[in-house]
Amino acid sequence: MKIQRKMTGRMRVLAALIWGTAAVYFWSDAWAQQSEGARPVVVQPGAPGEPSKTLPASTKGTLPPRSKADAEFMQGMIMHHAQAVEMTALIESHTQNKELRSLGARINSSQTEEIKFMKRWLAARGEKTAMEMATKAVMDISHDGHAMNMPLMPGMLTPEQMEALQKAKGAEFDRLFLTGMIQHHEGALTMVKDLFDTAGAGQDAELFGFATDVDTGQRAEIKIMQGMLEKRVLEKN
């Protein structure tokens, strides 16, 4: 029995060596053919349940067509983020709440950097960084100095809400900031959903990654702010 086991083990080793030698020869031969000018095979995956197709070696990949909705999303989100940054800028002089200050600093930093990214994305594609409606609204000024017909992206605070936030202090500011920023973040989620619901939009790789990060990050911050509001209610009771 011991002899048979030893022979079996040797046979396995021998078989492995033979297979390994054959594999090396196969890949060496394949590599030689490749180095001699053999062109790579271009394969297009088939739809679910359908076979793949072999395409000519001269086939070149094409980028998805640019969508007007992509640029409008970025332009609108720049305006949207700008108001969030404006809201967080009030924190230092309006509240001593350390938890809110920490959250505000994080929102300010992330959205400021995202504004820079969106402007670069638009500039690289020859697009303006401001929406046409917003540019028109800035030029259309009423006699009392306020812009008329200024478009608001989903969730953005109205001029009245911003004024109330600017006037509030302490605990009242904390409440208005948290409820306002939750509203603001929920609007951003709506903007992302609208983008992906638009036919042909959101296919750009950078845009897709950015919009997905916005959705994930702002959902997480909404939960944090809801928890902070619930904490305030419990402390009052």
pLDDT tens digit string along 17-34? 434 444 433 334 444 445
The answer to whether residue 58 sits within a structural domain is no
The answer to whether residue 29 sits within a structural domain is no
The answer to whether residue 102 sits within a structural domain is yes
* Highest mean predicted confidence (pLDDT) among 48-57, 147-156, 162-171: 162-171
* CA 56 – CA 227 distance, rounded (Å): 57
**Average pLDDT rounded to a whole number, residues 153-164:** 96
CATH assignment of the domain containing 178: 1.20.1260.10
Of 7 and 193, which is predicted with more confidence?
Answer: 193
The answer to whether residue 141 sits within a structural domain is yes
The answer to whether residue 114 sits within a structural domain is yes
The pLDDT tens digits for 180-207 are: 999 999 999 999 999 999 999 999 999 9
Pick from 36-45, 74-83, 159-168, 187-196: least confident: 36-45
The pLDDT tens digits for 201-228 are: 999 999 999 999 999 999 999 999 999 9
Mean pLDDT score across all residues of the chain: 79
Q: Which residues have C-beta within 8 Å of that of residue 182, sequence separation ≥ 6?
A: 222, 225, 226, 229
The answer to whether residue 54 sits within a structural domain is no
Cα dihedral angle (72, 73, 78, 84), rounded to 10 degrees? Answer: 140
Which domain covers residue 166, as residue numbers?
68-236
Residue type (1 letter), 236: K
Cβ contact 222:182 at 8 Å = yes
Cα dihedral angle (216, 75, 226, 110), rounded to 10 degrees? Answer: 70
Residues 101-109: contacts with CB under 8 Å, at least 24 apart = 103/221, 103/224, 103/225, 103/228, 104/177, 107/181, 107/221, 108/84
pTM, two decimal places: 0.68
Per the structure, the count of domains in the chain is 1
The answer to whether residue 10 sits within a structural domain is no
The answer to whether residue 46 sits within a structural domain is no
